[in-house]
């Protein structure tokens, strides 16, 4: 946080649902002002109208792949709240589909939103943070960006891209006082996963998770808040923090 005399300010993309919504809620509770962006206008209206009226939130529809719109939106957020200290890049899409059946258009679309969108928002925000003396960015990787999970050729490639993008941005932006980290969640109970995982998928995941359960969105949001807060994670940058119930650290898991 660099705002000493005002509330810290964060841009949250994908703020209309799931992890982005939980992150925005956490940050608001912790005293942040939040620019909540999502391409789903209805979700923004349903979740933020009251908080916008109270002056805690500025909500606007935005497609993170539209670089001109992103630049405008990020500048507007800084103007409305008189600063910009943090970014949460949670906008994303997923597909679980065998590699040989994955249409190239779908592959391109997933990379465009998940990787290029993260880059566009980070670049626009970092240009402002550089002028203002620093800040923090948290990207959304995934265990599917660290391991070759089945059916994840596009999604896994996009999240692998987010991992290395996070490390490069951390390297390039450290000189401006900007820290860049990512969380790599395992399965989280969000609308995205509820739409994708049938009982068979849940049972399969449970077999590979030492904690035997999916995360709740707030269990990821609490780590995001920690990584944004320069008073608690000041010496962390370029880090990919697994929030995965033990998945990526586990070897053989007992049956019982």
Q: Are 248 and 147 in contact (CB under 8 A)?
A: yes
Output the smallest distance, CB 124 to ligand NAD, in A. Answer: 13
Residue among 8, 151, 156, 187 that touches ligand NAD (CB under 6 A): 187
157 binds ligand NAD (CB under 6 A): no
Residues in region 38-57 near ligand NAD by CB under 6 A: 38-40, 43
237 binds ligand NAD (CB under 6 A): no
193 binds ligand NAD (CB under 6 A): yes
Output the smallest distance, CB 28 to ligand NAD, in A. Answer: 17
Nearer to ligand NAD, 1 or 15 (CB): 15
Q: What is the 3-state secondary structure (H, E, C) of 100-168?
A: HHCCHHHHHHHHHHHHHHHHHHHHHHHHHHHHHCCEEEEEECCHHHCCCCCCEHHHHHHHHHHHHHHHH
Q: What are the angstrom distances between the C-alpha of 66 and each of 10, 72, 121?
A: 19, 10, 9
160-182: string of b/e by CB count within 10 Å (b at 16+)?
bbbbebbbebbeebeeeebbbbb
Residues in region 9-38 near ligand NAD by CB under 6 A: 13-14, 16-20, 38
182 binds ligand NAD (CB under 6 A): no
156 binds ligand NAD (CB under 6 A): no
Q: Are 227 and 233 in contact (CB under 8 A)?
A: yes
64 binds ligand NAD (CB under 6 A): yes
Tokens 């209309």, located at residue: 16
- Interface mask (CB under 6 A) for ligand NAD, residues 100-139, using x and -? -------------xx--x----------------------
Which among 124, 194, 181, 114 is positioned nearest to 154, based on CA atoms?
114
Rule CB under 6 A: which residues touch ligand NAD?
13-14, 16-20, 38-40, 43, 62-65, 90-94, 113-114, 117, 140, 142, 185, 187-188, 190-193
């Amino acid at each position: 946080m660099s705002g000493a005399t005002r509330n810290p300010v964060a841009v949250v993309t994908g703020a209309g649902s799931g992890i982005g919504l939980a992150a925005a809620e956490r940050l608001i509770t912790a005293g942040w002002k939040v620019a909540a962006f999502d391409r789903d206008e209805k979700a923004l209206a349903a979740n933020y109208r009251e908080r916008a009226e109270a002056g805690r939130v500025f909500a606007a529809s935005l497609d993170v792949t539209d670089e001109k719109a992103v630049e405008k939106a990020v500048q507007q957020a800084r103007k409305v709240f008189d600063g910009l200290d943090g970014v949460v890049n949670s906008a994303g899409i997923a597909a679980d589909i065998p590699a040989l059946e994955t249409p190239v258009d779908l592959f391109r679309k997933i990379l465009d939103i998940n990787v290029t969108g993260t880059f566009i928002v980070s670049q626009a925000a970092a240009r402002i943070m550089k002028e203002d003396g620093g800040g923090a960015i948290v990207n959304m990787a995934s265990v599917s960006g660290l391991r070759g999970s089945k059916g994840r050729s596009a999604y896994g490639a996009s999240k692998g891209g987010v991992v290395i993008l996070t490390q490069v941005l951390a390297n390039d932006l450290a000189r401006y006082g900007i820290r860049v980290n990512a969380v790599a969640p395992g399965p989280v109970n969000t609308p995205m996963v509820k739409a994708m995982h049938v009982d068979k998928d849940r049972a399969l995941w449970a077999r590979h998770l030492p904690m035997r359960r999916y995360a709740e969105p707030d269990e990821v949001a609490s780590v995001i808040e920690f990584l944004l807060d320069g008073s608690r994670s000041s010496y962390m940058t370029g880090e990919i923090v697994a929030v995965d119930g033990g998945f990526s650290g586990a070897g053989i898991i007992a049956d019982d």
